[in-house]
């Protein structure tokens, strides 16, 4: 029987996973034997269903199947779009009306003064570069209403308790605000009150009042409470979560349901899934859909974790270069790093997220020279229009790769799309070479050098910021443009190994296929556990923590049931956020059991916290004398879902078969023309070695092997850069 | 874990007679640098030039260690400022305390590293009783540690190899409570160092990367926020331990000889880059600026009769970019006094490096190179270098930010002259904060500081665009104001009723500065006692730091309002509207909606204010200055300001910008173009009519100088500033007054 995570049918043992990037939509079709087929199509932001259809068809054709065949045999279908991120970046989301606690009217403009997100240390040092991010709500669409709830104090129970109502909600203010906002034409209303994560009563009542107003006006628009979207402390990131949900999520949900309709039209019987920013998969009924904001890059990390397990790599850094950005992630001891807040497109959200850092230089990034003759790359991107060599009107990084010979204009998407090299060259000449007074090819090489070095800096910094050195890390690169630029962004950095896959262009989609079906729930608490706490009080504390988990389990079952999941098969993972009393930061502590009932259980919980804490900090940073505080419980609910396998091949000789050799072409590499031999990716066997200068072409990407370096294919056909 | 103490593989420095002492290292550093003009005599960057990849890899490892320390350790903190607002920093130094690498944070604090280490060297700490690998030292003293105010606390951990100190890992953060008579982290109204609170010269407080138990007792008994301070102390040590371990690993990998040479090259390399940046981006010359601070102690210091007076502090600085870097001269500034605004050379460096690193160091390795490229003169006896070792440094930072603002604006003028228009803007150092202590009904005592408005200010106008609100802080590269939900949780009876931008609160001009911020705090169930002071961390009394540029107006200063004895309970019971910011509170008082028995507006230091149920405390800070003549502002920009609410009074902007507008029935302002042209012409004519020639102005003012026709505070200020020869010459040359014109110094 089909459920919300899969078709529920053991005979349906294909896995389909798609990653819709800003430029290309990649499809990975995982066959029952664990082998993969990759399909690709141009991403059409205005019609994601069509991109889905084209990409799946492309994958199906390569194994002589039809889209109907694939869907009929599909056990799980995961789709990761960038619709939400694009909505935020382009500012083309819903018109939001925001109602906040009186006195916090400017909160969306102030955004906590966070004006340096995403900057390097050098940039943030030069404060002229600090910028506010474009708000997701117009300042004139913000209203404040009288109400105040207190949150308690860090010293403990010495003053008013957490959640105490200081000023009652003024419902007339709420009605007036709602009417004013609706008169102004807002399409969704968000509510953010202080400390609603402790006591959501005012937010929920305000929502009811607004819904009464809506009913009275005969209107029906979403009303969203911050306590339902991100029930955690700190109003600024909570606001950003609320705004993302309001501005982008509901709108994107509709387009995702269209994609699901497309899949069902082909005969798929399950629910379409997408990825959460912290690694799990959910279907499109998931209420907090903004948590899928950056599902594409997460897929890559999940795939990297899969590869790391297979190849027994402990420390791994990922580099994903697509059309719009270059994303770097880390696996430390094969575990994904997590952050409690997510920095996305200049916003900091209250959202647990797999730790990924980005720079805005992708293959589609626009290249320009300003009036001061300074070169700029990005952040604007041509997206699916590729560049001036295809359907875009400005010079992009891909144009330069085409002009210099790295990318074959006649073999883009395996020749489905013909690129115009002459137009690319001409634009490079007029837009870059002439303003800088350079020869056109050297100008192109200079641009690539800058793009590559920016990416290299990010790789170095990301590893260094964790206190590690790149020598200890294997670099796994992917994305359509990753293999084209690898030679550049790894130059001057020493890694333990540098690897990629034949299906690098679709790696994020492959990773999505590896994801668990999982929800995460967080519930804020204010449980203080001083050292002199009585046994009786400890039992009381245990009871409240335990109760919170039970409630979250019920919530998880209810949500998953609505998503069509067989809840009998759901398993739970438990954790708490804890700290020493007085600390501001809480530390996630995973627990073996979700049953905390006795005083001893509290002691065990504290012991788990201490073990976790001393893994991160030296002994001198412990402060058990202060006592402990549990500030949140969290729960991961996991439902079973089909998984792919990675198959081994028999090792062949180093020399590729004659059929792999396609020919040769001239490439302007660094500062001179040289001849690169060209090989066909799909003709290469495990054990083959490709000496540079060479290009390994594939319909989805181009692997550039520079002079004096080579690529070796291991038994998984993973390519190692030597 | 990996960060546990590795054992004394370094060996205690005192163990070997005749070993190279810290004093030896400092003397060699100074001698070789002075003799060659290059750091430590490094004239050739041989390691970098022979194997640049290895050299960069070495530095990347150093840098990564300190970056990583901050990203992990700050989460141990208890204070919001340290965890989120950038009010912390970690670094790695040479044996002499010269900076090699720093983390994100308030990085100009690198300036104090050598002060503390040199003090320890001069007092032979490594000889008696020796320094061991992993020892822990604490510092918070201005004079011996260079600390910019006692609220900043430093942890030093030596890295010892073969009985020799080869480096120090250092962690710093700003405490929330410092145990002074005035509660909080700025000991307002201190008249000497003995009132500055819990102040430590460099002292050993732990070994083997752990603090001693007695150290915890000191926090508990000598400060009002022990838990918070202990956790912050642990945070600093955690980061230091990470850097300590990483540096030992680095030395193991590269070898001690490579390490010792490379750390010198790194600093010399960055010195050269900074000098190049200065030469390339400025026009040589002398750029002078000044500012004034009023210290109103008269009537508040009855116990300390020698401090019972008002003081006007002259802040004067000249910047001269040249071929070998840049020099800063503060001669002409006032002398030190019995108040809390005295600085020290180390503390002053800490502030003036802010603008210098921002302008000249951002694209280099951030090291002691800035110290070598910027020559400073802080005359002995002046407020920046007192010749009295017991001066209070409690508000040192406020005073030194004043000289940083003067210097930063001077640098901006030098860069503007060279044509770097997009680089320069009107700089202010206009912050605010409040602090205090209380006792809840159950007898629990606590101390606190809320310095949210140190977490972000408006940025002044550029020569081609308006400044923006809440976008930077001169003193931290990664400032944020944090969250109200966190600050509120640190002070039991204080609750926010507003946290807003204060519209119209900026310096105006052709381009206006970014507006400042305002918060309203409401006192609920104050318990047995709660009282606040405003530490005047902001330059509320400094009338002209943000002088505005090219005819623009300076930023309005920070201020606060105490409203005691209110009808808040009635307002809330009736479902009325509560005040959201400083302007609204004053408007509500004016129109009678808010009744206040005791309303006070504080533009200077305020004494301790006790609050009762339903009292209100309001502050405003973070405004920034304008650029250019207000009459040149594009009329459409004025209309936009009115319609978007960035200014709040039409009459004000009409009189300021000469813009005439009308409101349509929807309330939108629309430009009356012809009337605007006419009004501007009228205003320009009036200016011409009211103006006098420079000579006439000079002659009239000179008469006042000759008659010493000033209030006592100004006369005293001149007496102090003229005691320095250079300013005395400048003053007499400009006013052409005789040598026998003397301003009597009442202090002597």
What are the domain boundaries of chain A? Answer: 14-87+252-289, 91-247, 517-639, 648-722
- Regarding whether B246 and B166 lie in a shared domain, the answer is yes
**Does the pTM of the predicted model rise above 0.80?**
yes
Residue B202 lies in a domain: yes
| pLDDT, position B85 | 66
DSSP string spanning B558-571?
Answer: PEEEEEEEE-HHHH
- Minimal CA–CA distance to A387: which of A422, A353, A357, A352? A422
Any CB–CB contact under 8 A between A172 and chain B?
yes
Number of compact structural domains in chain B: 5
What is the C-alpha separation between A454 and A377, in angstroms, rounded?
10
Report the residue of chain B nearest A100, measured CA to CA: B498
- Regarding whether B453 and B354 lie in a shared domain, the answer is no
**A128–B423 CB contact, under 8 Å:** yes
Q: Show which of residues 625-684 on chain A sit within 8 Å of chain B, judged by CB atoms.
A: 625-626
β-pair partners for A274: A282
List chain B residues with CB under 8 Å of A235: 483-485
**Lowest mean pLDDT, pick from A26-35, A698-707, B585-594, B714-723:** A26-35
- Give the distance from residue B593's alpha carbon to the nearest chain A alpha carbon, in angstroms: 16
- Regarding whether B222 and B76 lie in a shared domain, the answer is yes
Does B74 score more than 90 pLDDT? no
**A618–B471 CB contact, under 8 Å:** no
What is the C-alpha separation between B198 and B189, in angstroms, rounded?
15
Report the residue of chain B nearest A492, measured CA to CA: B53
Q: What share of chain A is helix, strand, coil (3-state, %, to 5)?
A: 35, 25, 35
- Regarding whether B623 and B649 lie in a shared domain, the answer is no
Does B169 score more than 90 pLDDT? yes
Report the residue of chain A nearest B444, measured CA to CA: A158
**B517–A125 CB contact, under 8 Å:** no
- Regarding whether B444 and B372 lie in a shared domain, the answer is no
Measured in whole angstroms, the distance separating CA B314 from the mean position of its chain's CA atoms is: 18
Residue B275 contacts residue B291 (beta carbons within 8 Å): no
Is the CA virtual torsion A261, A264, A270, A274 positive or negative? negative
- Regarding whether B324 and B298 lie in a shared domain, the answer is yes
List chain B residues with CB under 8 Å of A468: 64, 68
* DSSP-based three-state secondary structure for B435: strand
- Domain end, chosen from B583, B612, B628, is at B628
Residue B487 lies in a domain: yes
Query: To which H or E segment does residue A90 belong?
Result: helix A83-90
**B358–A167 CB contact, under 8 Å:** no
Q: Show which of residues 626-645 on chain B sit within 8 Å of chain A, judged by CB atoms.
A: 644
- Going by their DSSP bridges, the two strands A24-30 and A14-20 should be labelled as antiparallel
| pLDDT, position B86 | 67
- Going by their DSSP bridges, the two strands A74-80 and A36-42 should be labelled as unpaired
Among the partner residues B64, B482, B489, nearest to A151 by beta-carbon distance: B489
The 8-class DSSP code of residue A670 comes to: T
- Regarding whether B643 and B559 lie in a shared domain, the answer is no
Residue B744 lies in a domain: no
List chain B residues with CB under 8 Å of A492: 53, 56
What's the angle, vertex CA B185, arms to CA B116 and CA B525, rounded to 5?
160
Backbone phi and psi for residue B717, each to the nearest 5 degrees, phi listed first: -60, -45
List chain B residues with CB under 8 Å of A104: 484, 498-500
Any CB–CB contact under 8 A between B481 and chain A?
yes
Burial B377-415 (b: 16+ CB within 10 A, else e): bbbeebbbbbeeeebbbbbbbbbbbbbbbbbbbbbbbbb
- Give the distance from residue A169's alpha carbon to the nearest chain B alpha carbon, in angstroms: 9
Any CB–CB contact under 8 A between B6 and chain A?
no
Report the residue of chain B nearest A128, measured CA to CA: B423
Give B445's Cβ-side CA count (13 Å radius).
12
**A103–B497 CB contact, under 8 Å:** yes
* DSSP-based three-state secondary structure for B696: helix
- Domain end, chosen from B576, B609, B628, is at B628
Backbone phi and psi for residue B425, each to the nearest 5 degrees, phi listed first: -150, 170
Per the prediction, chain A carries an average pLDDT of 88
| pLDDT, position B16 | 65
| pLDDT, position B541 | 47
- Regarding whether B712 and B647 lie in a shared domain, the answer is no
Could you report the per-residue pLDDT of B278-291, keeping only the tens digit for each?
Answer: 999 999 999 998 88
Residue A75 contacts residue A270 (beta carbons within 8 Å): yes
Decide which of B151 and A179 is more confident.
A179
pLDDT < 70 stretches in chain A: 1-12, 22, 33-34, 296, 371-374, 379, 464-468, 615-616
List chain B residues with CB under 8 Å of A150: 488, 495, 524
Q: Show which of residues 11-40 on chain A sit within 8 Å of chain B, judged by CB atoms.
A: none
| pLDDT, position B22 | 93
List chain B residues with CB under 8 Å of A167: 572, 578
Decide which of B303 and A142 is more confident.
A142
Q: Which domain holds residue B27?
A: 13-32+51-176+191-254
Could you report the per-residue pLDDT of B392-448, keeping only the tens digit for each?
Answer: 999 898 889 889 988 999 999 999 999 999 999 998 878 888 999 999 999 999 888
| pLDDT, position A466 | 62
Does B374 score more than 80 pLDDT? yes
Model confidence band, residue B548 (pLDDT cutoffs 50, 70, 90): low
List chain A residues with CB under 8 Å of B56: 492
Does B78 score more than 90 pLDDT? no
- Regarding whether B686 and B621 lie in a shared domain, the answer is no
Among the partner residues B1, B440, B486, nearest to A234 by beta-carbon distance: B486
- Regarding whether B608 and B644 lie in a shared domain, the answer is no
CATH number of A14-87+252-289: 3.30.420.40
- Regarding whether B409 and B333 lie in a shared domain, the answer is yes
The 8-class DSSP code of residue A30 comes to: E
Among the partner residues A151, A583, A615, nearest to B1 by beta-carbon distance: A615
Distances in whole angstroms, Cα of residue B96 to Cα of each of B89, B113, B119, B235, B255: 19, 9, 10, 24, 20
What is the C-alpha separation between A181 and B493, in angstroms, rounded?
34
Any CB–CB contact under 8 A between A236 and chain B?
yes
| pLDDT, position A446 | 87
Does B543 score more than 50 pLDDT? no
CB atoms within 10 A of CB A46: 7
Per the prediction, chain B carries an average pLDDT of 90
- Regarding whether B448 and B597 lie in a shared domain, the answer is yes
Mean pLDDT of B60-68: 81
């Amino acid at each position: 029987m089909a459920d919300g995570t899969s078709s529920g049918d053991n005979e349906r043992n294909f896995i389909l996973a798609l990653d819709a990037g800003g430029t290309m939509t990649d499809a990975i079709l995982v066959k029952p034997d664990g082998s993969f087929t990759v399909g690709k199509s141009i991403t059409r932001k205005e019609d994601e269903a069509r991109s889905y259809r084209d990409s799946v068809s492309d994958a199906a054709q390569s194994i002589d199947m039809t889209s109907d065949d694939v869907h009929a045999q599909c056990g799980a279908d995961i789709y990761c779009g960038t619709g939400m991120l694009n909505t935020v970046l382009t500012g083309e989301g819903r018109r939001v009306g925001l109602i906040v606690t009186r006195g916090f009217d400017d909160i969306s403009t102030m955004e906590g003064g966070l004006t340096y997100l995403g900057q390097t240390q050098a940039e943030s040092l030069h404060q002229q570069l600090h910028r506010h991010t474009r708000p997701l709500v117009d300042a004139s669409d913000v209203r404040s209403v009288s109400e105040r709830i207190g949150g308690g104090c860090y010293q403990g129970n010495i003053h008013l308790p957490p959640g105490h109502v200081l000023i009652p909600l003024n419902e007339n203010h709420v009605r007036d605000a709602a009417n004013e906002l609706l008169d102004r034409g807002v399409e969704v209303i968000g509510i953010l009150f202080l400390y609603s994560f402790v006591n959501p009563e005012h937010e929920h009542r305000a929502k009811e009042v607004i819904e009464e107003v809506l009913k009275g006006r005969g209107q029906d628009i979403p009303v969203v409470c911050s306590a339902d979207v991100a029930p955690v402390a700190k109003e600024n990131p909570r606001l950003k979560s609320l705004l993302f949900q309001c501005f982008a999520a509901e709108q994107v949900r509709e387009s995702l349901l269209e994609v699901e309709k497309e899949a069902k039209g082909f005969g798929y019987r399950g629910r379409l899934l997408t990825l959460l920013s912290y690694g799990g998969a959910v279907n499109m009924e998931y209420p907090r859909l903004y948590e899928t904001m950056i599902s594409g890059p997460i897929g890559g990390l999940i795939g990297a974790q899969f590869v790391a397990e297979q190849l027994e790599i402990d420390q791994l850094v990922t580099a994903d270069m697509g059309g719009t950005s270059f994303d770097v992630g880390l696996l430390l001891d094969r575990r994904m790093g997590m952050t409690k807040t997510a920095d996305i497109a200049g916003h900091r959200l209250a959202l647990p997220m797999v730790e990924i850092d980005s720079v805005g230089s992708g293959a589609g990034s626009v290249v320009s020279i300003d009036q001061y003759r300074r070169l700029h790359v990005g952040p604007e991107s041509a997206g699916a229009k590729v560049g001036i060599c295809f359907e875009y009107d400005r010079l992009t990084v891909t144009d330069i790769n085409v002009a210099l010979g790295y990318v074959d204009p006649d073999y883009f998407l395996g020749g489905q799309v013909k690129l115009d090299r002459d137009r690319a060259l001409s634009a490079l000449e007029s837009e870059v070479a002439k303003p800088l007074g350079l020869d056109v090819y050297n100008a192109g090489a200079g641009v690539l050098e800058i793009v590559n070095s920016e990416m290299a800096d990010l790789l170095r910094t990301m590893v260094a910021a964790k206190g590690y050195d790149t020598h200890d890390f294997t670099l796994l690169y992917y994305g359509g443009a990753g293999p084209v630029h690898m030679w550049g962004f790894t130059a001057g950095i020493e890694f333990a190994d540098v690897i990629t896959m034949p299906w690098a262009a679709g790696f994020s989609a492959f990773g999505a296929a590896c994801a668990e079906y999982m929800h995460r729930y967080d519930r804020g608490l204010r449980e203080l556990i001083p050292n002199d706490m009585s046994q009786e009080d400890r039992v009381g504390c245990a009871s409240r923590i335990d109760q919170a988990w039970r409630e979250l389990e019920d919530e998880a079952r209810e949500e998953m049931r609505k998503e069509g999941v067989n809840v009998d098969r759901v398993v739970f993972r438990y954790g708490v956020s804890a700290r020493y009393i007085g600390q501001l930061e809480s530390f996630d502590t995973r627990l073996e059991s979700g049953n905390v009932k006795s005083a001893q259980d509290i002691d065990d919980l504290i012991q788990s916290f201490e073990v976790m804490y001393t893994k991160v900090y030296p002994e001198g940073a412990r402060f058990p004398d202060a006592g402990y505080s549990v500030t949140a419980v969290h729960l991961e609910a996991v439902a079973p879902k089909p998984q792919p396998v990675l198959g081994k091949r028999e090792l062949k000789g180093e020399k590729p078969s004659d059929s792999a050799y396609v020919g040769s072409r001239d490439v302007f590499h660094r500062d001179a023309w040289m001849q690169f031999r060209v090989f066909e990716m799909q003709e290469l066997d495990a054990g083959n070695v490709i000496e540079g200068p060479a290009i390994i072409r594939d319909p989805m990407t181009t692997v550039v092997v520079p002079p004096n370096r080579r690529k070796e294919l291991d038994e998984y056909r993973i390519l190692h850069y030597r | 874990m990996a960060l546990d103490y590795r054992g004394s593989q370094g060996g205690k420095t005192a163990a070997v007679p005749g070993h190279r002492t810290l004093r030896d290292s400092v003397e060699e550093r100074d001698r070789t640098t002075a003799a060659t003009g290059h750091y430590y005599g490094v004239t050739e960057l041989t390691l970098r030039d022979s194997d640049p990849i290895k050299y960069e890899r070495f530095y990347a490892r150093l840098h990564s260690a300190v970056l990583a320390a901050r990203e992990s350790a700050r989460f141990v903190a208890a204070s919001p400022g340290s965890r989120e607002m950038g009010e912390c920093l970690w670094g790695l130094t040479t044996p002499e305390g010269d900076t090699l690498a720093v983390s994100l944070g308030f990085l100009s604090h690198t300036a104090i590293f050598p002060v503390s280490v040199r003090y320890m060297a001069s007092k032979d700490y490594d000889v008696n009783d020796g320094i061991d690998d992993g020892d822990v030292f604490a510092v918070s003293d201005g004079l011996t540690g260079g600390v910019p105010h006692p609220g900043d606390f430093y942890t030093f951990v030596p890295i010892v190899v073969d009985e020799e100190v080869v480096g120090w890992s250092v962690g710093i953060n700003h405490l929330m409570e410092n145990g002074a008579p005035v509660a909080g982290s700025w000991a307002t109204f201190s008249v000497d160092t003995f009132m500055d609170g819990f102040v430590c010269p460099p002292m050993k407080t732990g070994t083997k990367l752990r603090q001693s138990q007695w150290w915890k007792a000191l926090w508990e008994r000598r400060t009002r926020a022990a838990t918070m301070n202990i956790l912050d102390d642990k945070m600093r040590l955690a980061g230091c331990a990470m850097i300590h371990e990483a540096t030992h690993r680095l030395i193991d990998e590269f070898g001690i000889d490579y390490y010792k040479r490379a750390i010198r090259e790194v600093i010399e390399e960055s010195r050269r880059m900074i000098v190049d940046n200065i030469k390339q981006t400025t026009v040589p010359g002398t750029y002078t600026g000044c500012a004034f601070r009023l210290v109103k102690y008269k009537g508040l210091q009855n116990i300390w009769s020698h401090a019972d007076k008002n003081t006007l502090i002259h802040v004067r600085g000249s910047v001269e970019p040249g071929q070998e870097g840049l020099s800063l001269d503060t001669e002409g500034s006032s002398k030190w006094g019995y108040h809390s605004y005295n600085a020290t050379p180390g503390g002053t460096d800490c502030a003036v490096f802010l603008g210098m690193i921002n302008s000249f160091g951002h694209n280099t390795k951030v090291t002691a190179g800035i110290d070598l490229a910027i020559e400073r003169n802080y005359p002995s006896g002046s407020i920046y270098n007192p010749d009295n070792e017991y001066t209070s440094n409690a508000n040192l930072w406020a005073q030194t930010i004043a000289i940083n603002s003067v210097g930063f604006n001077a640098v901006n003028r030098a860069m503007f002259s060279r044509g770097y228009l997009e680089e320069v803007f009107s700089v202010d150092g206009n912050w605010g904060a409040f602090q205090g202590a209380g006792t809840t009904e159950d007898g629990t005592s606590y101390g606190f500081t809320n310095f949210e408005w140190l977490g972000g200010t408006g940025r002044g106008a550029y020569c081609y665009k308006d400044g923006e609100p809440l976008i930077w802080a001169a003193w931290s590269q990664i400032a944020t104001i944090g969250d109200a939900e966190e600050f509120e949780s640190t002070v039991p009876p204080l609750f926010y009723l507003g946290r807003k931008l204060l519209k119209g609160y900026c310096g105006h001009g052709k381009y206006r500065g970014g507006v400042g911020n305002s918060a309203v705090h409401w006192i609920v169930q104050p318990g047995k006692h709660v009282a606040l002071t405003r530490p005047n961390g902001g330059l509320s009394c400094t009338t002209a730091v943000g002088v505005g540029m090219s005819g623009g107006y300076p930023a309005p200063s920070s201020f606060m309002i105490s409203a005691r004895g209110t009808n808040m309970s009635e307002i809330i019971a009736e479902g009325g509207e509560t005040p959201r910011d400083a302007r609204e509170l004053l408007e509500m008082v004016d129109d009678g909606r808010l009744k206040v028995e005791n309303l006070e507006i504080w533009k200077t230091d305020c004494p301790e204010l006790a609050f009762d149920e339903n009292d209100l405390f309001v502050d405003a800070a973070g405004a920034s200055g304008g650029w250019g003549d207000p009459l040149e502002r594009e009329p459409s920009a004025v209309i936009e300001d009115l319609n978007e609410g960035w200014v709040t009074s039409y009459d004000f902007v009409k009189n300021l910008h000469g813009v005439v507008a009308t409101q349509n029935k929807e309330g939108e302002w629309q430009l009356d173009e012809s009337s605007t042209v006419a009004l501007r012409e009228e205003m320009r004519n009036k200016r011409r009519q009211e103006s006098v020639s420079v000579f006439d102005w000079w002659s009239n003012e000179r008469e006042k100088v000759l008659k010493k026709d000033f209030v006592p505070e100004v006369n005293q200020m001149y007496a102090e500033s003229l005691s320095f020869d250079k300013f005395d010459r400048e003053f007499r040359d400009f006013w052409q007054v005789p040598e026998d014109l003397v301003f009597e110094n009442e202090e002597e």
